[in-house]
Structure 1
Amino acid sequence: MGCVAVLLINTNSFAQNIEAALTSKESAIDNMVMGYNSNGDQSRLFNSPKYDAYDKTIKGNAYFADAAEFSTGNVEYDGFSYKNMQLMYDMNRGSVVMQLPNKASMVELVSDRVQSFDIAGHHFVRVEAFSQEAGSAIPAGFYDVMYSGKTEFIVHREKAMQAGTFSAEAASMYVKIDGAYKSFDSQKSLLSLLSNRKQELSTYIKDNAINFDADKEQAVVKIVAFYDQSLIAGKQPLLVSANKK
């Protein structure tokens, strides 16, 4: 009987060792798979086409915020989110440039595979021609989301190059109303698009001394935010601070 007991104990111990070994092996395999997936996802970025830098004789700067070097940002690429990447936005080519970990190479992300990116405190989204709703008049490209609510305010930024010099930034502004993007370039044209609250908006602009010419984009942010609140509040008092950016 004693021998049987010893045999049972040894058998149980052997089974436990096998189970522990299998668990350890499965864990190692899981880690390998996770590592492979992670590396595979990043390789999606790293395998992008090489970025050809501009000739140093060209005057001016092609990049968003006149960046002279890469800055930390986030990018959504092929539906995957990548954080803390070294990015620049080339406004002449309309492309996102990424520095590789070796800091010696740069790649140009394929634009139609980039859903969005964040850089220098700004959030850019990709708008494709085929995804636009009826009534929109907006070219495909990256747009800086300045305000997003019931109404949306976005800006397309670009820099041209002529005679070996990059131009100053050209900004095209759009608001999205009732599912369609509409362009505007002045306070008057913006109020025409928001005509169902034109009187309220005019009063708000006057009372808060909003100067459209001094800082167009921040003025639009305030006006559109007030417009959205007026739609929600109806005839109730509106509580929007014009000084809040």
Structure 2
Amino acid sequence: MNHRVIWVILIALLLPCTVFGQRASVDSSFREQAIRYAHARYVRSTADQARLYNGAEYVGHLPTIKGYPYLDSLWRTGSVTYDGITYQNIRLLYDLVDDVVVVPHIDSVYRMQLQNIKVSQFSIADHHFIRIVRDTAHNIGLRTGFYDQLYDGRSKVLAKRVKTIRTELVQNAVKEEYLSENSFYIGKNGLFYPVKTKRSVLNLFADQKKILRKYLRENRIKFAKNREAAIVKLTQQYDAATRSL
């Protein structure tokens, strides 16, 4: 619980007791219980926050590199499940170069890098990322890392978002910039398959290929124009077409 909320509770509880100082002893007992409860919640809350803000300092990248290494150039308010606890309304950055989640330290100007192994999921800027561990029973075909969960139905669609740093020597000067790359995976029958082209998606859903081709034509979906949206829509349509199978 946020400590500000706790103080509001305490003020609300104590104010009537101040105005009406002659309340019965039962009211005094209730007030003491409320104070102890609020204090205990505050202690537990700060202990939980200490668990979140105990990572290593995040150093980041050189400011001379063109662009930015994050999913978004600005801090965004989101949520993160860390070490089994879900924290809401947390300012986050997601470093796509190092594949790490960054939070501002609660007591200073430092930025903290969360331990990947303790992050099970986080949401930021309308994206929901989950941590996949390589070659577990239901994640065969993926490397360990954070994946953007685009569709979570009978079939699955994940995106692996990565940034790399390109270095060039131009007129005896080193110039660097961030390059973005997205890879897409469809989960079917417990396995994940990389998909890139319309053909690769249709071949994966070969048992419904004719229906899916018709769906693309009738809805004027241009795969090359928006590959990500097309992959999601085709997967959703496949699940709809095979729902009774």
Report the more deviating stretch, 136-145 or 100-109.
Answer: 100-109
2:76 is equivalent to residue 71 of structure 1: yes
Report if aligned partners of 1:60, 1:165 keep a CA contact under 8 Å in 2: no
Q: How far did 1:17 drift?
A: 6.1
Q: Secondary structure at the match of 2:90?
A: strand
Partner of 1:154: 158
What TM-score results when the alignment is normalised by the length of structure 2?
0.81
Structure 1: gaps spanning 5 or more residues: 1-15, 235-245
- SS of match in other structure, 1:139: coil
Contact 2:135–2:142 (Cα < 8 Å) also in 1:
no
**Per-residue deviation at 1:154?**
0.5
Q: For residue 201 of structure 2, what is the aligned residue in structure 1?
A: 190
1:25 to 29, 32, 45: 32
Give, in angstroms, the shift of residue 206 of structure 1: 2.0
Deviations 1:2-49 (A, max 9, x none): xxxxxxxxxxxxxx9665544433332222111111111111111111
- What is the rounded CA distance, in whole Å, between the counterparts of 1:24 and 1:215 in structure 2? 60
Counterparts of 2:153 and 2:210, CA distance in 1: 21
Q: In 2, distance between residues paired with 1:220 and 1:42?
A: 39
Aligned-residue offset at 1:113: 0.7
Residues 205-240 of structure 1 deviation map (CA, whole Å, 9 limit, x = unaligned): 122221111110001111111111111256xxxxxx
Residue of structure 2 in register with 1:124 after alignment: 129
Partner amino acid, structure 2, of 1:211: K
* Cα distance in 2 between the residues matched to 1:183 and 1:25: 60
SS in 2 for 1:160: strand
**Higher strand fraction: Structure 1 or Structure 2?**
2
Residues 94-243 of structure 1 correspond to what in structure 2 (within 5 A)? Answer: 94-101=99-106, 104-129=109-134, 131-133=136-138, 136-163=140-167, 165-232=176-243
What is the identity percentage for the equivalent residue pairs of Structure 1 and Structure 2?
Answer: 28
Gaps spanning 5+ residues in structure 2: where? 1-22, 168-174
What is the RMSD computed on CA atoms of the aligned residues?
2.0
Q: Write the deviation string for residues 121-167 of structure 1: whole angstroms up to 9, x where unpaired.
A: 11111111253437x21101000011111111000010112325243
Amino acid corresponding to residue 208 of structure 2 in structure 1: R
> Using the alignment, how far apart are the partners of 1:212 and 1:156 within structure 2?
19
Letter aligned with residue 140 of structure 1: T
Shifted more, 159-168 versus 68-77: the winner is: 159-168
Equivalences, count: 216
The TM-score with structure 1 as length reference comes to 0.81
Secondary structure of 1:58's partner? coil
Q: Of the two, which has the highest radius of gyration? A: 1
Distance 1:167 1:132, change over 3 A: farther
Task: Give the secondary structure class of the aligned counterpart of 2:236.
Answer: helix
